[in-house]
Amino acid sequence: MYISKSFIPILKNNPSEAKIKSHQLMLRVGMIKQSSAGIYSWLPLGFKVMKKIEQIVREEQNKIGAQEILMPTIQPSDIWKESGRYDDYGDEMLRIKDRQGREMLYGPTNEELVTDIFRSSVKSYKSLPQLIYHIQWKFRDEVRPRFGIMRGREFYMKDAYSFDVSDDDAIYSYNKFFLSYLRTFKRLKLTAIPMAADTGPIGGNLSHEFIILAGTGESKIFADERIFKVNSDDTKIEKNSLEELRKKFEKFYAVTDEKFNKKEFEDKVTEENRLSTKGIEVGHIFYFGDKYSKSMGASVDLPGGKKDFVKMGSYGIGVSRLVGAIIEAKYDDQNETMNWPISVAPYDISIIPMISKNDKSALEKANNINKELIKNNIEAIIDDTDENFSSKIKKMNLIGAPFQIIIGKQTGDGLVEFKRPGDESLEIKLVDVIKIIK
């Protein structure tokens, strides 16, 4: 992709209306454009990053055996009346009437809709467990939409639902998601810590929020610092192994403010390990038993002929919020560099040829390098403008491809000038560049 042909409307300076880094930068680099309060259009650069995050989330859901569906954004109100949440949900729910006067709503979450799908087709314990997810826009009429897409009103969420025959099986499903979340955030190069959380309007008794530390986060957390060292690499998708993993985390005090108890914190955590700070909630998992299956009549036949309500859990990841969360965690202030992990970077590499009005040979070289990269499935962005070197570098640092090739000064035979944003450059062969990126 040539910069001159791309739709990346970069601003010279940080927009003053934005209060936090990720919001400023997403506007500045033209990743999003506000349409109304808390509602955004996603421009190519932002959309590419979000889609890559979405794909990683999807792959990790599939790995634990969850199946993808797609439910609509607009839901009928009657199922919410059945569960009893139509009134409870309050002003965060956007209520709409269609031309027949039927009450509809823009889904803020999908427990009711998925339970309705489940009850209409699954009748026997033999079909369980079922792990179902979708990745879809949600709407919540937040009192204070702010920080750009971090607290939007319309936002993109992965939400999954588990259906099991017993509490014991349901906890197994819960633990599968627990692991898949750790793996997902790890692939995004984030350290997200599972913290005991309140279940709020979803109801139920077991719940963890996955939080990444950030001064600009809106969640208050209290933790034993040693929880950051817990490792999940050897965990298998198997009942005991998963249970052990959760125990390893739960050994350390780690809670959000709703669950915080000063005395407990001070009793359980020695002073040097106490961490009380702020974080961003990027995921949240709940176990709530038969809260919805009972009120909505979702039961299955058990062996022996009896019937019972299925045991359910729900599992959310804020896919659009993660775009901002990664910027908050990774942005390098000193070099004004996005520092996207390669797994979600909008481009793998930027090529920066030094072009003047009468000498276009560097651009030709760039095109040849790009052909090689394309053969190797590496996506490059090429600055084909005749701006000066330092403004080209600045722009590419902001766009944030994790590698750069500079074509200007004389290099050794068959070598290219290669660097990571903010680092010194080195001269290496193109095949080695490809090896580093892959």
Q: Using CB under 5 A, list all residues that contact Mg ion.
A: 281, 284
Q: Does residue 106 interact with ligand ATP by CB under 6 A?
A: no
Query: Cβ neighbours of residue 4 under 8 Å, at least 6 residues apart?
Result: 384, 385
Q: To which H or E segment does residue 77 belong?
A: none
What residues numbered 154-173 form the site for ligand ATP, per CB under 6 A?
155, 157
Burial of 358 (0-12, 13-18, 19+ CB in 10 A): exposed
Q: Least distance (Å) from Mg ion to the CB of residue 40? A: 18
Query: Apex CA 78: angle with CA 74 and CA 81, to 5°?
Result: 115
Both tokens assigned to 215: 């001064």
Q: Does residue 283 interact with ligand ATP by CB under 6 A?
A: yes
Residue with tokens 């209290």: 222
Q: Does residue 142 interact with ligand ATP by CB under 6 A?
A: yes
62: amino acid identity, one letter: N
Q: Does residue 340 interact with ligand ATP by CB under 6 A?
A: no
Comparing CA positions, the residue from 57, 286, 325, 66 lying closest to residue 181 is: 57
Q: Least distance (Å) from Mg ion to the CB of residue 318? A: 9
Q: Does residue 52 interact with ligand ATP by CB under 6 A?
A: no
Q: Where are the beta strands (DSSP E) in 338-414?
A: 349-353, 380-382, 403-407
Give the separation between CA 38 and CA 145, rounded to whole angstroms. Answer: 5
Binding residue (CB under 6 A) for ligand ATP from 52, 85, 284, 291: 284
In the complex with Mg ion, the residue whose CB is nearer, 125 or 133, is 133
Q: Which one of the spans 72-80, 83-91, 96-104, 148-156 is the region binding ligand ATP (CB under 6 A)? A: 148-156
Cβ-closest position to ligand ATP? 318
Q: Does residue 282 interact with ligand ATP by CB under 6 A?
A: yes
Residue 321 interaction partner, one of Mg ion, ligand ATP, none, beta carbon < 5-8 Å per kind:
ligand ATP
Residue 148 interaction partner, one of Mg ion, ligand ATP, none, beta carbon < 5-8 Å per kind:
none
Q: Least distance (Å) from ligand ATP to the CB of residue 281? A: 4
Burial of 5 (0-12, 13-18, 19+ CB in 10 A): exposed
Give the separation between CA 149 and CA 252, rounded to whole angstroms. Answer: 32
Query: Cβ neighbours of residue 252 under 8 Å, at least 6 residues apart?
Result: 223, 224, 226, 227, 230, 269
Comparing CA positions, the residue from 113, 38, 40 lying closest to residue 72 is: 113
Q: Least distance (Å) from ligand ATP to the CB of residue 322? A: 7
In the complex with ligand ATP, the residue whose CB is nearer, 136 or 241, is 136
Q: Least distance (Å) from ligand ATP to the CB of residue 167? A: 22
Residue 290 interaction partner, one of ligand ATP, Mg ion, none, beta carbon < 5-8 Å per kind:
none
In the complex with ligand ATP, the residue whose CB is nearer, 152 or 402, is 152
Binding residue (CB under 6 A) for ligand ATP from 30, 107, 152, 194: 152
Burial of 38 (0-12, 13-18, 19+ CB in 10 A): buried
Q: Does residue 281 interact with ligand ATP by CB under 6 A?
A: yes
In the complex with Mg ion, the residue whose CB is nearer, 281 or 348, is 281
Q: Least distance (Å) from ligand ATP to the CB of residue 158? A: 9
Binding residue (CB under 6 A) for ligand ATP from 46, 289, 318, 346: 318
In the complex with Mg ion, the residue whose CB is nearer, 311 or 321, is 321
DSSP 83: H
- Residue 237 — φ and ψ, nearest 5°? -80, 85
Comparing CA positions, the residue from 75, 112, 71 lying closest to residue 298 is: 112
Residue 282 interaction partner, one of Mg ion, ligand ATP, none, beta carbon < 5-8 Å per kind:
ligand ATP
Do residues 155 and 320 make contact, with C-beta atoms less than 8 angstroms apart? Answer: yes
Give the separation between CA 390 and CA 427, rounded to whole angstroms. Answer: 19
In the complex with ligand ATP, the residue whose CB is nearer, 24 or 370, is 24
Give the separation between CA 348 and CA 52, rounded to whole angstroms. Answer: 12
Q: Does residue 291 interact with ligand ATP by CB under 6 A?
A: no
**What is the size of the binding site for ligand ATP (CB under 6 A)?**
15
Q: Which residues bind ligand ATP (CB under 6 A)?
A: 109, 140, 142, 151-152, 155, 157, 281-284, 316, 318, 320-321
